[in-house]
Structure formats: structure tokens, C-alpha cells
Amino acid sequence: MDTQRTAAALGVDFGTHHTVATVLRVDGRRHQLLFEGSPLLPSGIYIDNDASLLVGRDAVREGRRHPGRYERNPKLRIGSPSILLGDKDIPIREAVSAVIGRVLSECERVAGPPQRVTVTVPAGWGPARRHVIGDAAASTGAAALTLLPEPVAAARYFVEVLGHELEPGRSVVVFDLGAGTFDASAVARTAAGYEVLAVDGSDRIGGHYLDQAIVEYIGGRYEASEELSERWRSLMDPHSGAERQRLRFALYDEVRDAKERLSRTVTADVVIPGFAAEELLTRSELELLARPLLEQAVAITRAVVREAGLEPERLAGIFMVGGASRMPLATTMLHQELGVAPTLIEEPELVVSEGAVTAGAAPAPPVAPPVPTQVMPAAVSPNQSVPPAPSPATPTMPPAPTQILPPAPPPDRRSPALLIGIIALALAVLGGIAAAVYAYGNPSGTITGIETDTSEEGESAEPGADDSGTDGGTEGDEAADWDSAEVVDTEITTASITVFTNAEPSMTGCSAAIDGPHQSRFVSELSCTVIVFEELYASSPYEIWIYGPGQDREDPESTPIIERHSTTAVTGTVYWDCPQTLHYCQEQGGEPGVSPEPERGHEAVDYAAVGEVFDLVCYTEGDEIVPRGSDEIDGYHDYHPGKNQSNLWIRLEHGPGRYGYMPFVWLIVDGVDLNSTGELPAC
């Protein structure tokens, strides 16, 4: 083996917004992988026209032009089985594998294949989500794979790279403030290694939320001018077109740059795209906006210290991790609250990957078959503590042979799991007919043509059910020409599907049926070249039958063109911060309910976890919800910083073929404007 072209170890921090990787070479040198000149690889994925997945800045660039094909934060979707990109469902493991695979490819290019790979995961994750990451990494061929809790990697960096003393029995608190999430952990040194004593966090604290607060603050400066206020609203409007969307992206880039400069200076200018103007932002203004978020983070950290039972003499330090932890106010508030001066390095976003590669320098412990991935537990008993890593100098020993870890084998063909899968597939084929069982309304809709027959929700538009009274076609040459017709293209939005065929432009007399879980329709006397289905629902699968001139859908000899497409997915993240000091919130168990109808909002057919992501269908009106309040006497039970009161209710899929409603104030649909429903159509 050529040791000059073989990396000893690779540490990967798969983050919410960015992924960072560190390489340890066999001669002991350690350095960051660079992706287009930056150590920060955007974690987003984009599906191209040829169904290939783009990762990193290529995905970001394309995602700005076609957001329906882009997922910015696949790590937040780990709890879902798949992600809908365009009209294709991408298994979540495949999405994660694409990101980690990009990292491994870059490592092989610049340093050679790594002998060992360590991927970090949040300490609070359970086995299901950890295994998704482990299986995804294993599918890329990662050798001697280990999953390591993120705060353990940070603690190792604190001790083994920075050189801080951490005797057995003492602990370090890891304050991890990233772009989209915050985690606080207490990590103890034990005789056998490291142990996570307590962990807590929030996915509503992070740099992204501070960016939004800054944008809203700057926008408030234009309220006095009617003209400037209107231009600002146009800039913020998600429906204002592609050019405005590009300007909005540029604005948020400006805000992030200014925020980072204010960590080093006291003032920064923010260029407002499309306004030919600059706005001055001061550090004191930034701290005023950041303080509410940081107060929540400090409170969580204080609770973690208390939960871990740490006395001052057992606390060795507070380690600041994550790019957003650079803010001077964060260290000041922590010092004031806990009485310990935090440790902050110049590039805190690189800590976890460097700590992981330090751990990866150790010889891989034997793994009992058939388990391919070693999972370092987040919280373990003293005799199961995560062992400390040896000094980076140890790679001078002969390298261990690379172990290629295959994905888990498929189930036995005779296994109950396969039988269940076959039954599920059969049920899915019949879904267009059975979907009415789960529907709650009868929405109207149109197809471009002369006649529209909107059936009751759930009534199938399958051939043979024609009650329109029309024959839907013409005779002669057109019918013969239709025999060679085929679909050449489709255009899909959140509320429409347009089908293009290669029929002659003058050909008319076609008919079409469309069937989905919420709508079933049949229409005749259509153009045969362009067939438009409008007023559809988002995130919904549809089956389409197109009949040529002279064809009768009651005639078994008629052979329609059959297409299956899904409207563009719109997702919503559950957003609920109900204080557990209120009896109402205690009864809810910290989870908002899914109601069968807006008029029956007090009933719950299911409960949703905070941070859970759902496919959204449409919105309608119902009871108005006040998103924040002071006590139970006033009836204000729901706390949602940044959300306005609203009477909108969102229809969503909370299980296969199961639909219900949730108040809009409990969901984030547009991450930029928390009070926008984005491209979601009305019910």
C-alpha cells in the first residue's frame, strides 16, 4: 500500500447547513478538506434533470433557480423515509450518502482513501437516526466506520488538541451554536474515556434565526416611506419572481457577512440589493437582536449543568463550538451566568470534525459481525465510556487494512418483512381508489378544456366511469395519427401539471382523466398537444389517463397514455414552544395535535413531534390561533417567537394516506418569512 496516498483517518461533521471534514495523514499531519476553496461544504442536495444528485455549492446554485428540486437541510429530514425532489422520492439514506460520498471522493483525490472514517452525530439522537447516518456512510464504502457523539468529539479536541487538563471525574460543557440548531452537553472524563452526562438543545436557536431578525430589523427602517416600504415588501415576497428571489438570496448573504464582521469590528455596512443603498449595522444593534436567542441558549446550558449535577470544582471549562458561537455576547453571557470563562478558538465550526479525526487515529476496535458500524453511545455507563484517542503521532505504526463495509443485506425472500412489503405495494397500486377513505373535503378544480366534471373526492376517474355524455373525439386520420403520439415533456408546479405530447398542433378531440388522493376529474374536447391540469394540491401524487380522438374510455380496446406525477412538494416543520410550566402544555406532552378538520381543532387524531417535517397539501381558514401570550387565564397557550396570529389551517399528510389539519402558527413553511405559506395552494 502506498502510504503517501493513503489517509490514516477521516473525520466528518455532517451538519445541518454545512459539512466539515478533517484528514489525518499517515505521517501525523492533520488538515481540513477544502471544497471549492472553503472548508465548509453546503449540506444541501439537488436533483438534476438526469436524476443525478448534486451536492455542495453546485446544489445551492441550482436550488436558487429551481427550489422544488432542492433540499437545503437533509439532516433535518432524517426522521422521514424519503425526500421529494422535483417529482422523484429520494430515500433519506441516499440523500445523506450523496453528501458523505462527496467528502470521501474529495479525500481520496487529495490524500488517498482513508483507513478509518469517523462520522459525528448529535448526542441526543436515538438509534433510528444514528443508523440512518451509519448505513448511509457504509453504503459509500467508508472503511472501519465509527459514529461518534458530537460533544465527545469536541471534548477530545478540547483535551487532546488544545491541551486542556480534564482529569477523570471532571467535565467540560460543550456549547454548540450552529447555523440552524443549538446543543449544550456536559461531557465527563472517566477512567475509560468520555461520557455524556446530560444533553439538551433547540432547533429554533442558531445563526439563521439571527439573520432573519436582522433582515426584519433593517426592513423596519423603510416603514416611514410608502415607496420604500412597498419595494421592501416586493423584495421579501416569495411570489415576486425569480429575479426578486435572487436579490433576496443576495440580501441574506450580505446580512451573514455583516454579522461575521461584527464579531471583529463594531460597525458593518449591509448592501441592500435592488435599493442601491447601504445600511449601517452596529455591534450594539446586533447584540440587541441576538440577546433573546442567546438567553434561551444560556438557560438550556444552565439546565444541562444542573441536570449533570456539576459543582464548580468539577467543571473544567466551557467550550464554544459552531460558527454562530463567535459572537462576543455569547461568551460574555455564559461567563456571567456560570462564572467560568468560555474557551473560543478562531474557527469554532471546525472543532467537531477535528475532534472526530483525532478519535479516528486510534486503531479501530474489533466489531462483532454482522454489525458493520461501530456506534459510540451518547450516554454510557463508566465501563462503557468512549475511550480517549491516542496522540496523532500514532499513525507511524503499520496501517490497519481497510475494511469496506457493505450495506445491510436484503431480507430473506420468505421473510415476513418482504410479505408485508408486497402487501403494501399492492395497496399502493389501489391507492387512487382507496384514497377517498382518508379525504376530508371536496375541493373544486379545473382542467383546461371545454367541459370539466369534478367528481366527489375519492371517486375514481378510471376509464369506464365516464358519465359526461360526450364521446370525446373525432374520427378518421386524427385517430390514426394519435396511435404514434407520446408524451415528450411535463411541467409541474405546486398546483398544476402540464403534459406535452408530440401530436400535431392542430389535433383536438382528446380527453383526459386525473385521479389523486384528493381529486378525481374527467374532461373532454381538449387540445391533444398541451393538456393542463390546474387547481391541484401540493405534495400529491396523481395518475393521468389521456385518450386520443375517437377513443372511448368505456371501450376496453382504447389504450390511453398513462402518466404518473406528483405536484411539487411543500414541506412544513413543526414549530411549537409551549412552556411546560403551563398545565395546557403539560397535558399536550410538548407535542401539538393533528385535527381531522379545522372545525374540530380541539380533537386530535395524531400528535406531531417538534421539528418533525410534513408534506403539506393546501391551506384553508378555521379558528384563529394567537401564537403567544402570558398566562392560561387569557387562553393564550402557544408560544411561537416570530409568528403572527393566524386563522389559517394547513392540510398535511401525517401518515401514509392519512390527512389532517394543523394551525399555521405551529408550522414553518418558508424559512425566510415565518408568516408566509410560500407556494402552498388554497384548499
Q: Is the pLDDT of residue 382 over 70?
A: no
- Please list, in sequence order, all residues whose beta carbon lies within 8 angstroms of the beta carbon of residue 164, skipping any fewer than 6 positions away: 158, 172, 316, 317, 343
pLDDT number for residue 454: 42
Instruction: Identify the residue with better confidence: 476 or 405.
Output: 476
Q: What is 351-407 written as a DSSP string?
A: HHHHHHHHHHTSPPPP--TT--SEE--SS--GGGPBPPPPPTTGGGSPPPPP-B-PP
Q: Is the pLDDT of residue 621 over 60?
A: yes
pLDDT number for residue 589: 56
Q: To 5 degrees, how large is the angle CA 25–CA 29–CA 31?
A: 90
Could you report the per-residue pLDDT of 218-257, keeping only the tens digit for each?
Answer: 999 998 889 899 999 988 887 777 678 778 888 988 999 9
User: What structural domains and CATH numbers belong to the chain?
Assistant: 1-162+347-409 (3.30.420.40), 169-344 (3.30.420.40), 432-566 (2.60.40.10), 570-668 (no CATH)
Q: To 5 degrees, how large is the angle CA 93–CA 97–CA 101?
A: 175
C-alpha R_g of the chain:
28
- Please list, in sequence order, all residues whose beta carbon lies within 8 angstroms of the beta carbon of residue 91, skipping any fewer than 6 positions away: 81, 82
Instruction: Identify the residue with better confidence: 105 or 583.
Output: 105
pLDDT number for residue 412: 36
What mean pLDDT value characterizes the chain?
80
pLDDT number for residue 662: 92
Q: What is 614-667 written as a DSSP string?
A: EEEEEEEEEEEE----S-TTTT-----TTPPPEEEEEEEEEETTEEEEEEGGGE
- Phi–psi pair at 169, nearest 5 degrees: 100, -15
Strand 446-447 with 171-177, pairing: unpaired
Q: Is the pLDDT of residue 156 over 50?
A: yes
Q: Quote the CA–CA distance of 199 and 351 in Å, as a whole number.
A: 18
Q: Is the pLDDT of residue 22 over 80?
A: yes
Instruction: Identify the residue with better confidence: 657 or 493.
Output: 493
Q: Is the pLDDT of residue 441 over 70?
A: no
Q: To 5 degrees, how large is the angle CA 297–CA 299–CA 303?
A: 115
Instruction: Identify the residue with better confidence: 448 or 355.
Output: 355
Helix (H) / strand (E) containing 565: strand 561-566
